[in-house]
Structure 1
Amino acid sequence: MAELVSLLPPSTNNAYQGWKLAAWALTVLAAGTIIPALIHIGLPDGGAGVIAGLDLSQGRHTIISLFAWAGTTQFVWGLILLAISLRYRSLVPLALALLVTERALHTWNMWGPKGTPLAGGHHPPEAWVTLGSVPVLAMLLALSLRRARGG
């Protein structure tokens, strides 16, 4: 009979030598990923109208479905970030590098050629948060790759 493998293997925290600030910031980023995900999943319009200010008069069902889908993916990503930040810290640099990549691509998609603002030049709140997050995430990535003082 085959042996079962644990869903959560032993911690790899002992291998992380970067700045603790970067790992703890990843915990905050995980919460900042999970909470909006629950909004996208839980609100009747997924936040598309009441938060993002999208016009739902045409394509309402499609827009709400896409917000729910994005929220589901975002929720799982947030759980992974939380597990890394609390238990698998040797993966903090990788997680931050992936976050920088994700946020940079989101920024390009929101502010670049595809990122036409809504009526009146309005960008949803997420567009502004994403724009500001890229340099902060890059700084956290750099700190996670530097050996912490005294360590």
Structure 2
Amino acid sequence: MAELTGPGMSLLPASTNDAYGGMKAAAWGLTVIAAATIIPALLHIGLPDGGAGVIAGLDLTGAERTIISLFAWAGTTQLVWGLMLLAVSLRYRSLVPLALGLLTLERALHTWNMWGPKGSHLAGGHHPPEVWATVGSVPVLLILLAMSLRRA
């Protein structure tokens, strides 16, 4: 498979060794993002309403069990993704550019889904806190991705 290369690091490294040459701040930024992914995941899994009502402020009337289940399912996926990000940021640093690239794509797609045609139908125009964090994370992730591809 051909490697995608940047100014200093490759996005798809030949191996998962510790030969990370990008800026360390990008790897530590990924560690912070991993924690910021794991903590809400645990809330979605552990809170009785998955955080849908008490955090997101969603009206659960009419589909309470479905909404709570969806929040728990999303939290489970979010937990696994967060643990993978943590492993990459602390141990498999040659994968930091790839993880930041995928995370940027994920957050950009979430932003589109939250603010695009699907998000415009939220009840009363209400946007939960995550919506604001997601839209703000895209430029930060792009900066971290650029830092990870730049030779330290």
Superposition TM-score tier, normalisation by shorter sequence: 0.7 to 0.9
Mapping for residues 60-71 of structure 1, pairs under 5 Å: 60-71=64-75
CA contact (8 A) 1:33 1:78 kept: yes
Instruction: Report the equivalent of 1:56.
Output: 60
Instruction: Report the equivalent of 2:17.
Output: 12
Mapping for residues 63-142 of structure 1, pairs under 5 Å: 63-116=67-120, 118-142=122-146
Aligned length: 137
Tell me by how many angstroms 1:12 deviates: 1.8
Tell me by how many angstroms 1:117 deviates: 5.6
| Unmatched 5+ stretches in structure 2 | 1-15
SS for the counterpart of 1:24 is helix
Cα distance in 1 for partners of 2:105, 2:149 equals: 16
Q: Based on CA coordinates, which of the two structures has the bigger radius of gyration?
A: 1
Cα distance in 2 for partners of 1:79, 1:127 equals: 22
Instruction: Report the equivalent of 2:39.
Output: 35
Instruction: Report the equivalent of 2:12.
Output: none
Cα distance in 2 for partners of 1:117, 1:75 equals: 27
**TM-score normalised to the size of structure 1?**
0.88
User: After superposition, what is the alpha-carbon deviation per residue over 1:31-77, rounded to whole angstroms, capped at 9, x for unaligned?
Assistant: 00000000000000000001111111111000000000000000000
Percent identity reads 79
| Unmatched 5+ stretches in structure 1 | 1-10
Matched, 1:22 2:26: yes
Cα distance in 1 for partners of 2:124, 2:75 equals: 26
Instruction: Report the equivalent of 2:150.
Output: 146
CA contact (8 A) 1:46 1:68 kept: yes
